Chains A and B, each alone.
Chain A
Amino acid sequence: MDSHNIMFVILAVFIVLSSIATVTTKSIVRAATYLLFVLIGTAGLYFLMGYTFLGSVQVMVYAGGIVVLYVFSILLTSGNHEVLSKNTKLKIASSALLSVVGLGVFLFFLFKEQFKAAALGAPDESVITMDRIGRFMLSTDSQGYLLPFEAVSVLLLACIVAGLLIARKR
């Protein structure tokens, strides 16, 4: 058991518990907080795989941006007084059953169909360095991502405008 594997186990437990807590907790603010934990854990997974840039984007955008947005909107709308899960037992049970069966089916096939085995080794950051990411992002050759990059920037601009337009006071 090297440090990677130990780290992985810690992260795995942390993420699984947090994500279950996200969907079962009674308070919506807590749910948002658990989601934040999940997202930070995910960032940890990325670091573990050696995807440092992706991990930092995850922390900045998801954890730093989106979750904060959620918390704000939760406070703007109803706060934590909201009754989150006033459902019939049947609904909860059937949903839980569906999710568990779905998970079971997924895991069954995951283990039945052997993927290419690869150990979770030490991160090799030389594969995707910051330098390469920057070049790919702005290059126009067959490996380049300039077009999606521009499309996403236009999309984000549109979202800013749309968000303002929809949420503004009339």
Chain B
Amino acid sequence: MIQLEYVLIISAVMMFAGVYGFLTRRSTLAILLSIELMLNSTDINFAVFNRMLHPEGHEGYFFALFSIAISAAESAVAIAIMINIYRMLKNISVDKLEKMKW
């Protein structure tokens, strides 16, 4: 029988797929996509734990809701920065963005 906690397995796979993407991608936009994956997996976890441990409550539910709003905000700003960087450097590869390294 499928248990509710199996959803956690899905979110874990999603999380580590995001990690892998974060570590290997070179385009910053692709890295942002991986970050979205990771964020999404945490959202799932909030919802699942709410459902599993506290079915009458709603804290995890709202946490997921606000988390979605915040990830929207984050990606909007991040994309604006990327576009700006692209305008300056004609490239958004992470290995090219090392002006602020030292």
Q: Are A and B close enough to touch in the complex, i.e. CB under 8 Å?
A: yes
- Chain A residues proximal to chain B, CB less than 8 Å: 4-5, 8-9, 11-12, 15-16, 19-20, 22-23, 28, 31-32, 35, 38-39, 42, 45-46, 49-51, 54, 57-58, 61-62, 65-66, 69-70, 73-74, 76-78, 82-87, 91-92, 95-96, 98-100, 102-103, 106-107, 110, 115-120, 124, 127-128, 132-133, 136-137, 143, 145, 148, 152, 155-156, 158-160, 162-164, 166-167, 169
30 residue pairs bridging A and B, Cβ less than 8 Å apart: A19-B14, A22-B33, A23-B18, A35-B37, A49-B47, A51-B51, A54-B65, A66-B72, A69-B76, A73-B79, A77-B82, A86-B26, A95-B23, A96-B20, A98-B23, A99-B19, A102-B19, A103-B12, A107-B12, A115-B8, A117-B5, A118-B4, A119-B2, A119-B4, A155-B70, A156-B72, A158-B73, A162-B77, A166-B80, A167-B80
Check A73–B83 contact: CB distance below 8 A: yes
CA distance A116 to B3 in the complex (A): 10
Q: Which residues of A contact B14 (CB under 8 A)?
A: 15-16, 19, 38
From B34, B48, B70, A152 is in contact (CB under 8 Å) with: B70
Q: Does B53 contact A (CB under 8 A)?
A: yes
* With A115-B52, A159-B77 as contacts: A106 and B12 at CB distance below 8 Å: yes
In the A-B complex, list the 9 residue pairs whose CB atoms are closest, starting with the nearest. A23-B21, A95-B23, A167-B80, A163-B80, A99-B20, A159-B73, A166-B80, A19-B17, A103-B16
CB distance from A76 to the nearest CB of B (A): 6
Contact with A along B26-57 (1 / 0, CB 8 A): 11011011101100100110011001110110
Q: A83-B26, A95-B20, A166-B80 are in contact. List 15 more A-B contacts (CB 8 A).
A: A5-B1, A11-B10, A20-B13, A23-B37, A42-B44, A62-B72, A73-B29, A73-B79, A73-B82, A77-B83, A98-B20, A115-B53, A118-B51, A133-B58, A156-B72
Of the candidates A70, A86, A120, A148, which one forms a contact with B32 in the assembled complex, judged by CB atoms under 8 Å apart? A70
Q: Is the interface of A mostly helix, strand, loop or mixed?
A: helix
Q: Is B97 in the interface zone, CB < 8 Å from A?
A: no
CB distance from A161 to the nearest CB of B (A): 10
Return chain B residues, CB-CB under 8 Å to A12: 6, 9-10
Q: Is the CB of B83 within 8 A of A91?
A: no
Could you say which residues of chain A place their CB within 8 Å of the CB of B72? 61-62, 65-66, 156
